[in-house]
Amino acid sequence: MTAPETLRFENHKLILIDQTKLPGELAELVCTTVEQTHDAIRRLVVRGAPAIGIAAAYGVCLAADDPDDRESNDESESDPRSRYIHAIEYLATSRPTAVNLFWALDRMRGVVESTSVENLKDALVAEAKRINDEDRQMCHAIGRNGAPLLSGIDTVLTHCNAGGLATSTWGTALAPIYHLHQTGQAPKVLADETRPLLQGGRLTAWELSQAGVDVTVITDSMSGSLMRQGVIQAVIVGADRITARGDVANKIGTYPVAVLARHHGLPFYVAAPTNTFDLELDCGDDIPIEQRGRDEVAAPHGVGIVPDAAKVLNPAFDVTPADLVTAIITERGVIQQPTGESIARHFAEKCSG
Ligand code: MRU
């Protein structure tokens, strides 16, 4: 099974699958500037917490060749180090919620601050590639760690897309499914559409069907009645940011699915690498939630479906409190019933491990 190559860095260019065009067209977008990378992240050409971080890391490397920067009259901008710092700060404004973006940019900043100017360009590319490679390993480890939780069940529900398109390879929530699929033991997958941008209906359904996994798309409003009918045995989702006590920000609509799962006595699993944790935040209410434009809700595909006089809300994410989460699966293992204590232990084990 070959996973889609969500993003790659070749000849000092960042090449992205243009996810705004899927599933109709498998097209690539080539970024040669920091500005283009920022725009690609903002427009969700590349999306999903880990993929945003990797793309931004490569985006920093493009500052070396950015014509806008070369032409700058600002003296500080002609100094390579400040050019890269400027790129890091600019890319950090592309989207606010996924902490992986800031984590990856902090790694790039560390290289800028610790490397001699003559070695900087190569060192930054090497660091971005390391971030990319580590992500690949993390996805496979999450797959291995999460597989026993989904093994033997008939049907799992997932929300949004936390698959290969959201990372460098298998994804997070979909990684245990891909792991089990290798031996023909994957559960059937229900992908809810995920209004308003349909990451479930467009992206999860696309990548799972490409891989030969049995996937069925449902509308967001169907999951409750399917749980009631006993069709769904578990839920697995990804995350954009997890706080120290285990509150989880993920795509809008995750919280109601978690509430439904609890009501029906079903396990609700979150799969995410440790770099999705923001241990500086305790309470999920403090996670910055991206507010997106009106037209994504009011005029999907350019077709108006909401009267002009009506206001529209469009938060891109919601927060699921830790007590609704059965377990968090990371590349290090499984945190059952996450709490501040169990999460702190998980990270302590990571340090000593
Ligand atoms: O707005 P998106 O498409 O970037 O939102 C993506 C999600 O919410 C994913 O579930 C999350 O980033 C985890 S991806 C492994």
Structure confidence by residue, pLDDT tens digits, 241-269: 999 999 999 999 999 999 999 999 999 99
Indicate whether residue 241 lines ligand 1 (CB < 6 A).
no
Per the annotation, does 121 bind a ligand?
no
pLDDT in tens, 106-126: 999 999 999 999 999 999 999
Name which residue leads in pLDDT, 72 or 327: 327
- Is 3 annotated to bind a ligand? Reply is no
Query: What single-letter DSSP state applies at residue 130?
Result: H
* Cβ atoms of residues 332 and 274 within 8 Å: yes
pLDDT score, position 353: 42
Ligand 1 centre to CA of 223 (Å) is 19
Task: Report the pLDDT value the prediction gives residue 76, as an integer from 0 to 100.
Answer: 54
State in Å: Cα 51 to ligand 1 middle. 9
Which one of 7, 251, 257, 290 would you pick to mutate in the ligand 1 pocket, going by the greatest count of ligand atoms within 8 A of its CB? 251
Distance from the alpha carbon of residue 166 to the mean position of ligand 1, in angstroms: 7
Q: Which of 240, 247, 278, 318 is catalytic?
A: 240
Q: Is 240 a catalytic residue?
A: yes
| ipTM score | 0.99
Q: Is 8 annotated as a binding residue?
A: no
For the cut 50, the answer to whether the pLDDT of residue 39 exceeds it is yes
Mutate to test the pocket of ligand 1, among 6, 45, 47 (most ligand atoms within 8 A of CB): 47
SS (H, E, C) 2-36: CCCCCEEEECCEEEEECCCCCCCCCCEEEECCHHH
Q: CA 249, CA 287: separation in Å to the nearest integer?
A: 7
Query: What is the per-residue pLDDT across 48-95, written as a single tens digit (0 to 9) for each?
Result: 999 999 999 999 999 986 655 555 555 555 789 999 999 999 999 999
Q: What is the pTM of this model?
A: 0.96
Ligand 1 pocket, 316 CB below 6 A?
A: yes
Decide whether any atom of ligand 1 lies within 6 Å of the 250 Cβ.
Answer: yes
Ligand-binding site membership of 47 (annotated): yes
Nearest to 216 by CA among 205, 229, 228: 205
Distance of CA 62 to the CA centre of its chain: 22
Which residue's structure tokens are 């065009």? Answer: 21
Distances in whole angstroms, Cα of residue 259 to Cα of each of 96, 188, 264, 282, 314: 25, 22, 9, 21, 21
| Closest C-alpha among 189, 256, 190 to residue 224 | 256
* Token pair recorded at residue 184: 């023909």
CA of 233 to the centre of ligand 1 (A): 22
Is residue 163 in contact with ligand 1, taking CB distance under 6 Å? no
Rounded distance from Cα 310 to ligand 1 centre (Å): 28
Check residue 90 and give its pLDDT. 98
Whether ligand 1 lies within 6 angstroms of the CB of 168 is answered as no
| CA 345/CA 353 separation, integer angstroms | 12
Residue 45 in contact with residue 6, Cβ under 8 Å?
A: no
Q: Kindly state if the Cβ of 94 falls inside 6 Å of ligand 1.
A: no
The answer to whether the CB of 207 is under 6 A from ligand 1 is no
